[in-house]
Amino acid sequence: MKKLILPIFSGVLFIMVYSSCQKEMAKPQQVRMVVSRDLFSYDYNSTRLTDSRIIDNKKASLGRVLFYDKGVSVNNAKACASCHVQAFAFSDGNQVSMGFMQTPGTRNAMPLFNLPEDGFYFWDMRARNLKDMILDPAVHKTEMGMGSPEEIVKKFRGIGYIQDLFNHVYELEKDQDITEDRIRECLAEFVLSIQSHRSHFDGAAQNISQLPLEVQAGRSVFITAQCNNCHGEDNFNNQAMQNSSVVFVNHPPNFRDKDPYRKTPSEEKDSSNNAASIFFGQDFANIGLDYSYSDPGMSMDLLHFLNAKNPGQGFFKIPSLRNLAYTAPYMHDGRFATLDEVLNHYNREIKDNSVLDERLRIHVFGTDPNSFDVLPQHRKLNLSEEDIKNLKSFLLYLSDEQLVRDPKWSSPFVPVP
């Protein structure tokens, strides 16, 4: 096996030293970093849900290096981890992310956990495959500025320790080399390994009575307020995780009778009545943030492709409600600094624009339990202060402390002894 202590040539870590007496900042010192000796010691399948696809540990380990290496940006200023920080559930804690020249972007960094291999990625859902998505920020003119995947390949080929790691993982011969596909594969393998299903809520999902009373009450508010129309399934974004223990969110006991338009995927596929217009698996929505949008969100072509009933501006991907304790600020533009602001929006501040998602309008049910009429008025939850307090307790209980602390997803770089 090749020696695994490998020097970083692509960038250095600057430590800012402060004087406690004079409150003056000293000049930054350059600290040389190396790849940790234990890089290949982690099992990325140990926290995967059973029946999930097996992660290639060696490729995920190399992907971890690439994820944290600033060589992926044109001026060695940004890594993937700069905008997807483990302590923030792989978001970055800023309203919008800053690019390689400290130019602000236009959107909030989405957290990275429980991602499927095939899905829709980014707030505007423009990427359809994890490998296709993975280098998009690197070649973006504002985010990392590399220009093209070929430039990334060329740069990584010139960094000795990265070439050594690729040689080790892929057992490359002298006439073989780093390729774009291999970079995408390793990064995707690492990101795919980032799983979050170890919250306190997950531990009690099969026995709701074990939850604190305020969390139980908040769960009831979540259901009766129909939050799970958009945040259903066990990832709380209408995306299911395989073999999860959280099985009650879409169809809790007796809830189908209270909300008869909620249908199973097979029923939805075969249905042609009005109930089919609200598909609980639809993972995008216009939630009434504005009457008109400076950021149009999803493209009209994509909305038509996905059979959106009333396409227009302001449709964005529905994010997971897991790990809200770490992922503030919220929404595609980070406009809400706190969870209280988010709940206030849904409670009484929804803007009744012309393409507001039907799940946020008033529904009137007739004698047919499988059909309903959608009224033009938008729903106001009108929750009490106690309801909001309990709902907030429930939402925060979905946060996974182990996600933000697990060392196998942390930076692989350590200072030279």
Q: Which pLDDT belongs to residue 370?
A: 64
Work out the mean pLDDT of the chain and round it to a whole number.
83
For the chain, give every residue range classified as CATH 1.10.760.10: 13-196+404-415, 200-396
Summarize the confidence of residues 174-181 as an average pLDDT: 84
- Helices 385-396 and 213-224 sit at what angle, rounded to 10 degrees? 100
Q: Which pLDDT belongs to residue 40?
A: 96
394/378 Cα distance (integer angstroms): 25
Give the HSE-up count for residue 212: Cα atoms under 13 Å, Cβ half-sphere.
Answer: 14
Q: Which pLDDT belongs to residue 336?
A: 98
Provide CB contacts within 8 A for 66, sequence distance 6+. Answer: 72, 80, 156, 162, 183, 186, 187, 190
Q: Which pLDDT belongs to residue 287?
A: 96
Instruction: Give the DSSP letter of residue 216.
Output: H
Dihedral Cα 308, 313, 319, 324, nearest 10 deg: -150
110/100 Cα distance (integer angstroms): 18
pLDDT band, residue 16 (cuts 50/70/90)? very low
Provide CB contacts within 8 A for 139, sequence distance 6+. Answer: 146, 147, 148, 149, 151, 152
184/345 Cα distance (integer angstroms): 38
Residue 164 above 90 pLDDT? yes
59/185 Cα distance (integer angstroms): 8
338/327 Cα distance (integer angstroms): 10
309/291 Cα distance (integer angstroms): 18
Enclosing H/E stretch for 29 = strand 29-31
- The number of helices, as runs of H, and strands, as runs of E, in the chain is 14, 10
Q: Which pLDDT belongs to residue 117?
A: 80
pLDDT digits (tens, 9 = 90+) for 217-250: 999 999 999 998 899 888 998 876 544 333 333 3
Q: Which of 349, 410, 359 is nearest to 383 (CA)?
A: 349
Selected from 1.10.287.3510, 1.10.760.10, 1.10.1040.10, 3.30.870.10, the CATH number assigned to the domain covering 200-396 reads: 1.10.760.10
Q: Which pLDDT belongs to residue 368?
A: 66
3-state secondary structure of 413: strand
Q: Which pLDDT belongs to residue 282?
A: 78
Provide CB contacts within 8 A for 178, sequence distance 6+. Answer: 153, 156, 157, 162, 163, 166
Query: For residue 102, which amino acid is it?
Result: Q
pLDDT digits (tens, 9 = 90+) for 72-93: 999 999 999 999 999 999 999 9
DSSP string, 262-323: ---HHHHHH--SGGGGS-TT--EE---S-SS-SS-BS-HHHHHHTT-SS--S-BEEPPP-TT
Tokens of 290: 């504005």
Please tell me the least confidently modeled range out of 43-47, 154-158, 373-377, 411-415.
373-377
Summarize the confidence of residues 336-350 as an average pLDDT: 96
Q: Which pLDDT belongs to residue 32?
A: 73
Residue 383 above 60 pLDDT? yes
Task: Look at phi and psi of residue 262 and say left if phi exceeds 0, alpha if psi is from -120 to 50, else beta.
Answer: beta
Selected from 1.20.1090.10, 1.10.10.10, 2.60.120.10, 1.10.760.10, the CATH number assigned to the domain covering 13-196+404-415 reads: 1.10.760.10
119/319 Cα distance (integer angstroms): 13
Tokens of 123: 């707030």
Residue 258 above 50 pLDDT? no
DSSP string, 375-401: EEEEP-----HHHHHHHHHHHHTT--T
Summarize the confidence of residues 100-120 as an average pLDDT: 92
Higher model confidence: residue 58 or residue 23? 58
Residue 257 above 70 pLDDT? no
**pTM of the predicted protein model:** 0.83
Q: Which pLDDT belongs to residue 369?
A: 61
Summarize the confidence of residues 109-131 as an average pLDDT: 91
Q: Which pLDDT belongs to residue 50?
A: 61
